[in-house]
Amino acid sequence: MAKIQIKSETRHELSFFPNSFDDYVPKDSKVRMVDRIVRSMDINPLMDTYDGIGAPPYSPKMLLSLVVFAYINGVYSCRGIADALKYDVRYMWICGGKRLSFATINRFRTNHMIKCIDFYFDAVVSILAEKGVISLEEQYVDGTKIESKANKYTFVWKKTVEKNRAKLLEKTSAALDQIKEQIRQNGGSDIREEDSEPATSAKDVERSARLCERQVKNLPKAKLTGREKQKLNTQISHLFKASDKLREYENSLEILGERNSYSKTDPDATFMRLKEDAMNNGQTKPAYNLQIATENQYWTNFALYHNPTDSLTFKPFLDKYRKRHGKQSKCVTADSGYGSEENYEYMEMEEMVGYVKYNWFHKEQHKPFKEDVFNQANFYYNKDEDYYVCPMGQHMNPCGQRQTKSDSGYVSVITLYRAQRCEGCPLGSLCKKAKGNRTIYVNHKLNAYKKEAFLLLTSEEGMKHRSQRPIEPEAAFGQMKEDMHYKRFRHFGKDKVYMDIGLFGIGFNLKKHLGIKR
């Protein structure tokens, strides 16, 4: 039997000529394409974030290429990128064999990329538009709620803060009155009228407590025993503690602003109900409302909002689209969560074709809805004489108007129509539940927008956009969460979260454009 020859191992041997990392990366490798695209972009916005103080920094182009390539491959943590630099030749090629620490990569993201993330996201979108991949003439809008890194049990609720603050102020005011009365009875100087006003803030409580503290010190010794004086001082010390607690409540209200909640570990995150509910009990979690616009499944716009309601994010989101690209798209497609009077009016002013559904768009096309004669949507309306006709043929004339204001401040006008005589009507038990004559509430402006939207949505072009919408942003969200495993944010604070999702958007677009599967 022939002796088997085994080649010697060269693991510990030195090569006579040093190898280049360029030799290990094929010329048609995807990492070369990513690096070429990144280095073609203007570096000046990134360079402007450096102050020139201290040791020379690593090349911003190199770091940007490294981070983008990492996000394309689903490596989102700085430690993960730093580990990849030790064993993955593609990452080594980008950095020329430099082994960067995770702190260096983190400083680059949080100190520099955070200031110009929009510029580089827009630059990638512009490259895609130049190549004809997207036209920027249409956008498909949708949103998803992504959980924050914050602890889900560190919630602060606005109603609870307001309730506790009011109780504490009431309790503190009563304690102040009692202390001031004791001071008067024991020979204290008269308290000025402006100092007798009820406390309405932490500053007022602290000022009143200091005033009482000074007056207790100046009380005649013969009038007050040591025990009584000690008791007064204890009550005043409780006032100082109450002022600290009130200041905490006031800081919480300032952080909350128009929101109803926030997380103590991430004050920018708002508690929302998420689809990913492991307990199936509707538990709220700290999260951000991520809105994206897509075309051919490429991200063309993104934004983060505290408000979980999609309809309130629509206008600012479209404004941001115009700011990014210098123009507004010709048409926009969205689901019924965005169909409101305010949004329809905005699209009309912007001269956009809006394929945006409204509530009950699908339900009103079903037979039970159409045949329900007691539904006010099916009442006959005489526009010339301005009256509705009830199922019994009775005219319902206008009897007043009301105004409603949305959370964004938009005012809608509601007209009330009331029947003249419902008493004794044989259909009364089926037509209404409330006592008296039936009253209906009608928003004529919104109804007109709905009719226009219905015609657009049921047209041939509208059907095409409606069928395209589920495979646009929804498919992008599916790839994001399931394929690329981006299901939770990894930073505290809206600015850092925005930077992180911006880098993901850049990586998402380049990955799709270059056909990178891994």
The rounded distance, in Å, linking the Cα atoms of 121 and 262 is: 29
Residue 272 near residue 450, CB atoms below 8 Å = no
The rounded distance, in Å, linking the Cα atoms of 259 and 29 is: 48
Residue with the larger pLDDT of the pair 56 and 305: 305
The total of other beta-carbon atoms located within 10 Å of residue 151's CB is: 13
Q: What confidence score (pLDDT) does residue 196 get?
A: 55
Q: Which helix (H) or strand (E) holds 501?
A: helix 494-514
> 281-316: per-residue pLDDT in tens?
667 889 999 999 999 999 999 999 998 889 999 999
Two structure tokens written together for 430: 């089926």
Q: What confidence score (pLDDT) does residue 435 get?
A: 84
Residue 299 near residue 293, CB atoms below 8 Å = yes
Within 13 Å, how many C-alpha atoms sit on residue 136's CB side?
21
> pLDDT category, 191, cuts 50, 70, 90?
low
> pLDDT category, 193, cuts 50, 70, 90?
very low
> pLDDT category, 224, cuts 50, 70, 90?
low
Task: Summarize the confidence of residues 148-155 as an average pLDDT.
Answer: 88
Task: Summarize the confidence of residues 373-389 as an average pLDDT.
Answer: 91
> 78-128: per-residue pLDDT in tens?
999 999 999 999 999 999 888 999 999 999 999 999 999 999 999 999 999
Residue 14 DSSP one-character state: P
Task: Summarize the confidence of residues 325-338 as an average pLDDT.
Answer: 93
Angle at 115 between CA 497 and CA 257, to 5 degrees: 55
Rounded to two decimals, what is the model's pTM? 0.87
Question: Beta 155-157 vs 138-147: how paired, if at all?
Answer: unpaired
Asked whether the predicted pLDDT for residue 157 surpasses 80, the reply is: yes
Angle at 232 between CA 231 and CA 236, to 5 degrees: 120
Q: What confidence score (pLDDT) does residue 185 get?
A: 74
The rounded distance, in Å, linking the Cα atoms of 78 and 401 is: 59
- H helices of 306-374, in order, are 314-325, 341-349, 367-370
Task: Summarize the confidence of residues 227-249 as an average pLDDT.
Answer: 85
> 335-353: per-residue pLDDT in tens?
999 999 999 999 999 999 9
First-to-last C-alpha distance (Å) of the chain: 46
- H helices of 136-190, in order, are 158-185
Q: Which of 416, 469, 494, 497 is nearest to 138 (CA)?
A: 469
Asked whether the predicted pLDDT for residue 495 surpasses 70, the reply is: yes
What would the DSSP string read from start to end of 73-108?
TT--SHHHHHHHHHH-HHHHHHHTT----HHHHHHI
For the chain, the residue count is 518
Q: Which of 275, 274, 280, 310 is nearest to 293 (CA)?
A: 310
> pLDDT category, 194, cuts 50, 70, 90?
very low
Q: What confidence score (pLDDT) does residue 134 get?
A: 94
Return left, alpha or beta for 440; rule: phi > 0 is left, psi -120 to 50 is alpha, else beta. beta
> 446-457: per-residue pLDDT in tens?
999 999 999 999
The rounded distance, in Å, linking the Cα atoms of 139 and 330 is: 9
Q: What is the 3-state secondary structure (H, E, C) of 411-459?
A: EEEEEEEEECCCCCCCCHHHHCCCCCCCEEEECHHHHHHHHHHHHHHCC
